[in-house]
Amino acid sequence: MANRREFTAATRKAALKRSNMRCEAVGEWYGLGPGQRCHAGLAHGVEYDHIILDANSKDNSLENCAAVCVKCHRYKTAHHDTPTAAKTVAQSLMGMKTRVKVKIPQPPKQPRQQTKMPLPPRTLFQEKLP
């Protein structure tokens, strides 16, 4: 849990108060519709999410803190907080697709016919006749 920059206790408390014990997750980042808020009750579990991803922001202010339910936090973590891992998976999947070799039947090779005509004997030296 505490393996990266976290909000202070005061910020968490303020975020929870602001949320009215309802999940503050909004929008597609949390698997919701655009502009849709989750509103799930937080009585049984609350997590604090950096609205702007932690990797890109050192902002631990209340404005960047969302009190969200476990489900929303899990969704966002799985889909957005690890973009590098997701990219790697996508690339490896694409790599597998392109690596599939399609065997195109080739016509049997024709034995090459000898078309060379025997060369006439060359006269290398011509005797000069007086």
Binding footprint of Zn ion on the chain (CB under 5 A): 23, 25, 38, 40, 69, 72
Distance in angstroms (rounded) separating the CA atoms of residues 64 and 75: 18
Shortest distance (Å) from residue 66 CB to Zn ion: 9
Q: Within 13 A of 11's CA, how many CA atoms are on the CB side?
A: 16
Shortest distance (Å) from residue 93 CB to Zn ion: 29
Which tokens belong to 118? 């025997």
Shortest distance (Å) from residue 92 CB to Zn ion: 31
**In sequence order, what E strands does the chain have?**
47-50, 65-68
Taking the least distance from each CB to Zn ion, the nearer of 18 and 58 is 18
Distance in angstroms (rounded) separating the CA atoms of residues 109 and 119: 28
Coil, helix or strand at residue 118: coil
Taking the least distance from each CB to Zn ion, the nearer of 25 and 51 is 25
Shortest distance (Å) from residue 75 CB to Zn ion: 8
By the 10 Å C-beta count (0-12 exposed, 13-18 middle, 19+ buried), 112 is classed as exposed
Taking the least distance from each CB to Zn ion, the nearer of 7 and 67 is 67
Taking the least distance from each CB to Zn ion, the nearer of 18 and 87 is 18
